[in-house]
Structures are given as C-alpha cells and as structure tokens.
Amino acid sequence: MIKAGIVGGTGYTGVELLRLLAVHPAVELAVITSRGEKGIKVADLFPNLRGRVNLAFVEPDDAVLKECDVVFFATPNGTAMKMVPTLLKAGVKVIDLAADFRLRQLVDWEQWYGMPHACPELLAEAVYGLPEVNRDAIRKARLVANPGCYPTAVQLGFLPLLEAGVIDPESLIADAKSGVSGAGRKAEVGLLLCEASDSFKAYNVPAHRHWPEIRQGLATVAGRPVDLVFVPHLTPMIRGIHATLYATLTDPNVDLQGLFENRYAAEPFVDVLPPQSHPETRGVRGANQCRLAVHRPRNGKTVVVLSVIDNLVKGAAGQAVQNMNLMFGLSESAGLEGIALLP
C-alpha cells in the first residue's frame, strides 16, 4: 500500500482528496495535518468521512511526513515550497495542488504571486501535472505541480486545435465560469449566501493568476507564444467550471469533431460529446471528468469549444490522484471511476 500524507486538509480540496483516497484500493492514509485543527478528528470536521477516515489532524512534522511514500499539499500558495526540498531529499514524492511549482520562469512566479520563491532550483524539475499532455514525464516525476482548475478546463479545450495548427494562436478567448468553492473554504463577504446567490459577475479581468499558467501551457503546445484573453466569472453554484472558448480557424476544411474525437479517443477522463451538444456542469459533478463539445457557428471562421469540469475533482483533487496513479505505476483510473452525481 502507498502511504499518503496530506498537508493542509481542512479546505474543500483537502476534503475532496480525503474522500477519494479513503476508498483508493492502493492507498493507506497515514497522516493529515492542520495547525488550526490539531487534535480534532477528521470525521468531526467532515461528517461525510465518518467510518472511512479515522485520523485526527496533527501539526505538520517533517519527521512524520518523511515516512510517507507521497505527500499532497492542499495549502495556500507559498507553503509547499518551504517543505518540499526536505521531503524530496528523504525520497518522498510530492504533488502540490497550489501554484508553487506551476510556472517555469522564476520572474513570472514572483511577479504573479508577490513573494520570493523558497526553492527556485526545483522549478525546472517540477512536472506540470496535466496527464493528457505530460503523461510520460509524470510517470518519472518525483515532484508534480497539479494544474489549476481554470487552466485544466481551458487547456483541454484548446489543446487539439493548437496541436493540429488549425487556429490562429493570437486570437484565443477563454470565457470561464466557476462555482464559489473555487475561492476556498473561508469567511469572505463576497462568498456569503446573500452576496453570491442570485448574482453573476466577472472578476480579476485585468489580471488573474491563472492567466500566465494557461498561456504557458498553450504556448508549449503551440510551439510559439499565444495571445490569450481570459475572463473568469463567479456563478451562484457550489462546484463546477464551464469554459466557453473562442478561436479563429486558419484551416476552413478541418473536421473539428473528428479532430477532437481522435485526440481524446484513448483518454480515460476526457469525453468528447456528439455534434451540437452542450455539456453541463452537473454532468461532471463529483467525477474526475472533462466533457467537451466543439461547434462552428454558421460554418464560419470561429470555432467555439465548450469545456466543463468539477473544479474540485478534475480541477484539483481528482487530477492529483490521477497523477499519483501515474507516478506509482498504477492504473490511471484507480480510485477515480465514480460516476457524476445527478441531480
């Protein structure tokens, strides 16, 4: 059994990791840390885990975490980078669900996250954990940077088009909407029921931290810089992301449906819907799944891709487990075969 530890397990991503790992056939949950909740039983904080997780929260302790085979960081940005070097030296594999290792360029990371990086020497080694792009590198990795939620939905939607070279990489638009759980488990006025319910708004239009991550991934696939407009929105639902993606076609004869179906035919967690489909966030709720639909309105020069994921699963914890499976040579779908919840 793989001994797994979770650092920062009191947020929505942490409890989602616990939910998935508690029933994983090859994982033993060894430790879960939280300074603020030290001594409290996990099931007392998250009653859905009663009878499944018998651990109590403990303070982070390098000596304890070094006994794990893999450690997941579900912590705020800037936390994992202070502990990762010690764990790697001890032979522990690390999956960081925050942004500490997502950007390859140090200057970009420090500009966007507003702090000096504690271990910049590891930025080049960290593997970006989008299996649909970096599967082989993930298998060999000891440090994986789990992608952000918006970047997962957006990149999977644009990926086939950029790989095939059938769109103008300087005309990319991503209009994305997320449920409020994407903001984390915290007390904030804008996330209160009376503030977020029955309302819909864009936010961080001039500069969102996921923009450089998305741009980096798309440029890597395209083999050249891309021009991306990314506009996130907050929607009055708990979980889910819906990204509507726009690009200008450069090949008017391309079979868009065939392109997407062929690209993702072997992918266990990407589902290309039939022509003229419109995926819904409720169709992926609780599942490690990205559902895509591709459209060409009025047979014009604009291609529209619809991409939906659960921001807490394929956009966070589920993708982290998918990466762990690859890192340890397990079946990629181990522990991730649950069906989305309806209604």
d(CA 26, CA 38): 27
| 119 catalytic per annotation | no
Cβ proximity of 240 and 281 under 8 Å: yes
Q: Is 307 helix (H, G, I), strand (E, B) or coil?
A: strand
Establish how many alpha carbons lie within 13 A of residue 124's alpha carbon, considering only the half-sphere containing its beta carbon: 1
d(CA 189, CA 338): 34
Residues contacting residue 112 through CB under 8 Å, at least 6 positions apart = 103, 209, 212
Distances (CA, A) of 21 to 10, 34, 39, 301: 15, 18, 21, 45
Query: Of these residues, 119, 149, 194, 290, which one is catalytic?
Result: 149
d(CA 343, CA 341): 6
d(CA 157, CA 19): 27
Distances (CA, A) of 18 to 54, 55, 66, 81, 181: 11, 11, 19, 22, 16
Query: H or E stretch including 93?
Result: strand 93-96
Catalytic site residues? 149
